[in-house]
Amino acid sequence: MSEPCVLLVEADILVRHPLAEYLRECGYTVLEAANTDDARKLLAEGPQVVDAVLADVDAAGEGGFALAAFVRANHPGVPVILAGSVAKAVASAGDLCREGPALAKPYDHQLVLDRIRRLLAARDRNGRK
């Protein structure tokens, strides 16, 4: 079985790169996108199937909530984790945040890793391999 693939959508390279490296050290393949347009391209044409998406609520382009709606509509079964300020996420998320509150920045790398593992485990228990 290949490593699970996480698509990380974050404009700030100083945030994105260390988190991507941490996830790689934990056994994940990480695709990096600086904006939602790049994220959509990677979802459609990327080098491999994406298993989970971690996106900044304020992602450059259409924003994290619109990207989450796109992923849920076009890639069912791919969990989406929205990150940003908790207050903004709670106020804007509505039905998009069924998995719980958004992660706050700066990211706690271990918390992000634990969240991704739980989402992928839940997805696998529900029959998606």
* Confidence at residue 101, expressed as pLDDT on a 0 to 100 scale: 46
* Confidence at residue 104, expressed as pLDDT on a 0 to 100 scale: 63
Domains of the chain: 5-125 (3.40.50.2300)
Q: Are 5 and 30 in contact (CB under 8 A)?
A: yes
Phi, psi of 23, deg, nearest 5: -65, -35
Tens-place pLDDT, residues 48-90 = 999 999 998 878 888 888 999 999 999 999 999 888 754 443 3
Q: Name residue 82's beta-bridge partners.
A: 55
Overall pTM > 0.75: no
Under the banding of pLDDT at 50, 70 and 90, the label for residue 41 is: very high
Under the banding of pLDDT at 50, 70 and 90, the label for residue 99 is: very low
